[in-house]
Structure 1
């Protein structure tokens, strides 16, 4: 499977970004441009998202292997947010020779109890009468009641694209909706006793509940060389809510 990719920078070490659910590689463009003077940056659209192909099942181990193929043989700094963070962690545990260092953004190596919020988004997006849409403004209005937050609504609408046959969702809504338990889960048993011994940075939002003290034990077990940073004034989307702080933290880790 050939993932859609955007590359920036021509010198320095490689940094690869894995976005979260409903995202695209271009979500990291601001951070990537800032790094590109000193690093070769690769932005990937994860499977079932953006311009990358779709899969028939959702399995974090398979997704990690697909991303590993896209990276190639040269070790990289791997950065992953949310769903992309779980893919990145699985990749580091399965292919440690490819990961020089790991950055996990606001997610832990655990199964989360619920994906109700995401299920609601998917049901709303799937239920929209796409055939009747002529302008993007109509799509935004159709989402307004179910997704009142304008930032989240704008984020979701990045997946809404005009094609020769009209508008369509780029993200594989059917697959993600049907496999929400796998998406919010964690393949701990399938990973066996695997650990990653390289340096790991966890960056969480102080206003988010995706990383908590109760997750520390599993973090330490799987990734013994980790340190954790909480960014004030940020929730789950740390890198977009506090981009300057996130960039400074990332640069220090890369150095």
Structure 2
């Protein structure tokens, strides 16, 4: 049974025996009512796919891929096959928490999502990993690289697609997508055409609409979204953030940032900040937008 949280056991009353009886009684009552009870976020078991090279190796210098917000691992299937053909290395694609087939769990911020990925790497005995993340997945990948819990030798290369380690509110389009998805569920739609009609005022691009609607479970009547909209909506402020300040942490390994030429997520204002975190970084630009860079 998977549990999204592990509860910290409350302190023994013997630890406060030296307090006067009135204070001891007050503390005991507080413990009994749960006032001081805290919970520590626990990593979830991420669902994944893996493609093996010809030699059958599933451990040697793997490429691990993290999708963006509203994405899932299956968005990367065709690219994963191309990477496998060109690199001849195992390719792992993960569903991050609250996406795809991975568990739904609070909280949903970059530290705990990085903990999920680190737990995955340890559980599968992966080392010398090349970690690739797009958008939200790129921030998760950066948080993994900067984490004090990163084991020595775990990470060989970091590739970040069209996102920077900056702190700013998410673009309003993302909140609009959540609003549209909630509206689709409220309208109890029973066809993709109806869902497209509800979503169209929020997103004019049909390709992006089709991408967002990959989260729609069409086996239910009426249609429902597989992703937990309530958790994602409450996490939008966290997803605009980043767990570290410039100068607080850095990762010296080989790091590639890929910028979409038609996107502003990597720009002249946040490139200096990015270099503070990743001094051995290089930057490449592709003729693409934010969604066109990766899935």
**For the superposition of Structure 1 and Structure 2, which TM-score range results when normalised by the shorter chain?**
0.7 to 0.9
Is residue 215 of structure 1 aligned with residue 258 of structure 2?
A: no
Write the deviation string for residues 20-55 of structure 1: whole angstroms up to 9, x where unpaired.
000001111121101223010000011011111111
Report how far residue 142 of structure 1 moved.
2.3
**What residue is the counterpart of 1:132 in the other structure?**
188
Judging changes above 3 Å, is the alpha-carbon distance between structure 1 residues 237 and 146 closer, same or farther for their aligned structure 2 residues?
closer
Distance 2:224 2:250 in 1: 40
Write the deviation string for residues 50-102 of structure 1: whole angstroms up to 9, x where unpaired.
11111121221111011111123322100000100000000011116321110
Aligned-partner SS, 1:35: helix
**What residue is the counterpart of 2:77 in the other structure?**
29
Aligned-partner SS, 2:178: helix
Report how far residue 127 of structure 1 moved.
1.7
Q: Report if the CA contact (8 A) 2:73-2:94 is conserved.
A: yes
Report how far residue 4 of structure 1 moved.
1.2
Distance 2:252 2:235 in 1: 30
**What residue is the counterpart of 1:230 in the other structure?**
285
Judging changes above 3 Å, is the alpha-carbon distance between structure 1 residues 213 and 203 closer, same or farther for their aligned structure 2 residues?
same
The number of equivalent residue pairs is 239
**What residue is the counterpart of 1:249 in the other structure?**
none
**What residue is the counterpart of 2:110 in the other structure?**
60
Q: Report if the CA contact (8 A) 2:181-2:199 is conserved.
A: yes
Write the deviation string for residues 127-158 of structure 1: whole angstroms up to 9, x where unpaired.
22357322222222222232221011101100
Write the deviation string for residues 208-251 of structure 1: whole angstroms up to 9, x where unpaired.
1000122122111111110000112x01124349xxxxxxxxxx
Distance 2:151 2:275 in 1: 16
Q: Report if the CA contact (8 A) 1:203-1:229 is conserved.
A: yes
Q: Which has the larger radius of gyration?
A: 2
Matching residue within 180, 184, 189 for 2:240: 184
Q: How well do the aligned residues superpose, as a CA RMSD in angstroms?
A: 2.0
Report how far residue 204 of structure 1 moved.
0.6
Q: Report if the CA contact (8 A) 1:108-1:211 is conserved.
A: yes
Q: Report if the CA contact (8 A) 2:134-2:294 is conserved.
A: no
Q: TM-score, normalised by structure 2?
A: 0.76
Is residue 6 of structure 1 aligned with residue 49 of structure 2?
A: yes
Distance 1:158 1:223 in 2: 34
Aligned-partner SS, 1:132: coil
Q: Report if the CA contact (8 A) 1:231-1:238 is conserved.
A: no
**What residue is the counterpart of 1:245 in the other structure?**
none
**What residue is the counterpart of 1:246 in the other structure?**
none
Aligned-partner SS, 2:264: coil
Gaps of 5+ in 1: 242-255
Q: Report if the CA contact (8 A) 2:185-2:224 is conserved.
A: no
Q: Report if the CA contact (8 A) 1:80-1:103 is conserved.
A: yes
**What residue is the counterpart of 1:118 in the other structure?**
174
Is residue 83 of structure 1 aligned with residue 136 of structure 2?
A: yes
Query: Post-superposition, which runs of at least 4 consecutive aligned residues in structure 1 deviate over 4 A?
Result: none
Is residue 160 of structure 1 aligned with residue 216 of structure 2?
A: yes
Judging changes above 3 Å, is the alpha-carbon distance between structure 1 residues 164 and 179 closer, same or farther for their aligned structure 2 residues?
closer
